[in-house]
Amino acid sequence: VEATGRAKFDANGDAYQFSGIIQDVTEEYQLQVRKDEFISVASHELKTPITSLSASIQILQKLVKTNPGSDKVPVFVNKASNNLSKLIHLLDDLLNVTKIQQGQLALNINRFDLVDLIKDSCEHINPLNEYEFVFIGDTQLMIYADYRRIDQVMVNLIGNAIKYSPQSKRIEITVFHDDETATVSVRDFGIGINPQKLPHLFDRYYRVDAFGHQFSGLGLGLYISAEIIARHNGKIGVDSTVGNGSNFWFNLPIDDKLNL
């Protein structure tokens, strides 16, 4: 809360009237704190893959000179490539936020099978079958939406489900529909979320564990996902229990009368 006030004084210098404005700036203040914090988090998040990428390239440069046939070469090429992907992903998120703020997140609507998209996203994220994805519900569901953007939402939700479930490898993905709406939910059995934090999760820069640094991230994935779903005239939400896991869901209108 911010208060500004003024006092009127009589001839003896005693105050005889006060006037003032009390303004609730809590939200504004919190956004500013998160923004300041975000710059330090973002610098750290960008620096980690850059440092690792730079180390891999130095090792590769040495190996190319001294032992180009070494079986370490593909290992470091892979490491470098993974860190480069992380960087591209981080920069994409930052660019997406700018686009959203400028109202320039354009959609490219096509007709496609939502279940296909989800299975593709899962395969992409889980090439070594480290995680157990369980698919429930529809086996095919044609919708009109922006394929690339919905893929981005799925990658964010599945990526979080993996990241925030260090002890569990199981993720359940449910797809169902009624006449008008397709609903997708991504359920994990991870750390869960404190109920007090739930209302802020989809805010820009919001991270539950910002100071703890236990999990990496910029706090932008859910904000961007919520914007993408809102642009499709859909809804996004979450149910969660600390210690039992979270269930993130979104829905989209199925038909082509999106009026976008």
Residue (41 or 141) nearer to ligand ADP, CB: 41
Residue (16 or 211) nearer to ligand ADP, CB: 211
* Least distance (Å) between residue 248 CB and ligand ADP: 6
Cβ 189 vs Cβ 161: under 8 Å: no
* Least distance (Å) between residue 48 CB and ligand ADP: 13
Residue (160 or 185) nearer to ligand ADP, CB: 160
Residue (37 or 116) nearer to ligand ADP, CB: 37
Q: What does the binding site for ligand ADP look like in residue numbers (CB under 6 A)?
A: 156, 160-161, 164, 188, 190-191, 193, 201, 206-209, 217-223, 246
Cβ 154 vs Cβ 129: under 8 Å: no
* Least distance (Å) between residue 187 CB and ligand ADP: 9
From CA 228, how far away is CA 245, in angstroms rounded? 24
* Least distance (Å) between residue 50 CB and ligand ADP: 18
Of 251, 218, 211, nearest in space to 232 by CA: 251
Neighbours of 216 (CB within 10 A): 15
* Least distance (Å) between residue 100 CB and ligand ADP: 13
Distances (CA, A) of 184 to 12, 42, 192, 227, 249: 72, 30, 19, 16, 6
* Least distance (Å) between residue 111 CB and ligand ADP: 28
Residue least distant from ligand ADP (Cβ): 217
Residue (207 or 232) nearer to ligand ADP, CB: 207
Residue (146 or 188) nearer to ligand ADP, CB: 188
Burial 92-128, CB ≥16 within 10 A → b, else e: ebeebbeebeeeebeeeeeebbbbebbbebbeebbee
Residue (116 or 239) nearer to ligand ADP, CB: 239
* Least distance (Å) between residue 228 CB and ligand ADP: 13
